[in-house]
Amino acid sequence: MGKSTVVPFGPQHPVLPEPIHLDLELQDEKVVKAIPSIGYIHRGLEKLVEKRGFQEYVYIAERVCGICSFGHGWGYSKAIEGLMEIEVPRRAEYLRTIWHELSRLHSHLLWVGLGADALGFESLFMHAWRLRETILDMIEQTTGGRVIFSVCKVGGVRRDISDHDLKEIVSRLEKLKKEIDGLTALILNDETIHARLKGVGTVSFEDAKALGCVGPTARASGVPLDYRCGDEGGAYKELGFKPVTDTAGDCFARCKVRLLELYQAIDLIKGCVENMPAGEIAVPVKGFPPAAEYFTRVEQPRGEAVYYVKGNKTKNLERFRLRTPTNANLAVLVKMLQGCDLADVPNIILTIDPCISCCER
């Protein structure tokens, strides 16, 4: 064994679209210890709640992260709706579910691409992003935006989707499903991908529970943690939802869970379209949030995000707190990196699907 050396990884690194810094302590090629340091994207958004009105802040909440933007807007609105005891129309909840699942589809396809790029499989990156564009087209057609849609508001949603558009979404998803079949078959049966991902960055069931990881990272280790199961909002309860899990806990399992969730998201959207209730899409919001607290959760593409709000009878909230999935998964990332090869570091980092702007807010 040689002397240990420290290799800095990031903040500007080709595999990372966002800056995070890791100090990797190496002994020869093995990582002994990884020390993450964050703060490159910290914008202080929680503090901004004191300067913006509670209805206006939905736009800021959406800009916590550009990938899971709809989920953040929804989570914040849900927390305010809980605080002010607003009953959201069922149609609005179904529309929110559709947009949230479309975001999940685009987020997971984006991840497949970035993960493939980290492996050096560039053509797969291109194909995954080509499929992602079809999802973005649907989002643009129904909301007007590509990555940040600003369609969720306190008390409901801003836009309705016509029956014609709903049918078109379903038929386009049918076509997309066939293409995803090809993508999935390729990833799950490719020998090179098996060699790179199987048995790498393994997290046991116990570790996953003890370190409190969330989302597909937890589900790949056999922890059936998915907030959509017990979600009061949205249409998940009525559609009968069961989380996708795997038991291996390695990079490959995390990849598989995300791929299977693509199918699940398509089925959920179809279910929403079939059972879409008629009626209003929003209720008017009167008054200011009361001097009370409320907390709620949303299952984001990367895992469970926790929203806490505290009102003080004025236009502005007193406190808004957000715990994001990447924040919860960083602890387990440090554990995964211990004992891995230096060449596997990019893969392992990407399989937790890090979203640094969520994490730092």
Q: How far apart (Å, rounded) are the C-alpha atoms in residues 145 and 148?
A: 6
C-alpha to C-alpha distance for 201 and 252, rounded to whole angstroms = 9
Shortest Cβ 125–another protein spacing (Å): 8
- Is residue 342 at the binding interface for another protein, with CB under 8 A as the rule? no
Count of residues engaged in binding another protein, rule: CB under 8 A:
42
**Which range of residues in 80-88, 260-268, 329-337, 349-357 is near another protein by CB under 8 A?**
349-357
Those residues with Cβ within 8 angstroms of residue 271's Cβ, 6 or more apart along the chain or in another chain? 235, 239
Tell me: does residue 29 bind another protein (CB under 8 A). Answer: no
Q: Give the dihedral of Cα atoms 149, 150, 154, 159; nearest 10 deg.
A: -70
Taking residues 256 to 285 in sequence order and writing x for each that binds another protein by CB under 8 A, - otherwise, the string is ------------------------------
| Token code pair at residue 280 | 């209003």
Separation CA 290–CA 39 (nearest Å): 33
Q: Which of 27, 146, 232, 338 binds another protein (CB under 8 A)?
A: 146
Return d(Cα 76, Cα 58) in angstroms, integer: 7
Residue closer to another protein (CB basis): 19 or 263: 19
Site for another protein contains 237 (CB under 8 A): no
Site for another protein in 108-127 (CB under 8 A): 110, 113, 125-127
Q: What φ, ψ does residue 119 adopt, rounded to 5°? A: -80, -15
Q: Which residue has the tokens 């907030």?
A: 227
What residue type is assigned to position 93 of the chain?
Answer: E
Q: Is 353 in the site for another protein (CB under 8 A)?
A: no
Q: Which window, 64-72, 285-293, 298-306, 312-320, contacts another protein (CB under 8 A)?
A: 64-72
Query: Is 41 near another protein (CB under 8 A)?
Result: yes
* Residues 162/142, Cβ–Cβ less than 8 Å: no
Stretch that binds another protein, among 62-70, 167-175, 196-204, 258-266 (CB under 8 A): 62-70
Contacts of residue 57, defined as CB under 8 A and 6 or more positions apart, other chains included, come to 48, 49, 76, 317, 320
Pick 148 or 331: Cβ nearer another protein = 148
Binding region for another protein (CB under 8 A): 11-14, 17-19, 39-45, 47-48, 51, 59-60, 63-67, 69, 110, 113, 125-127, 129-130, 132-133, 136, 145-148, 355-357
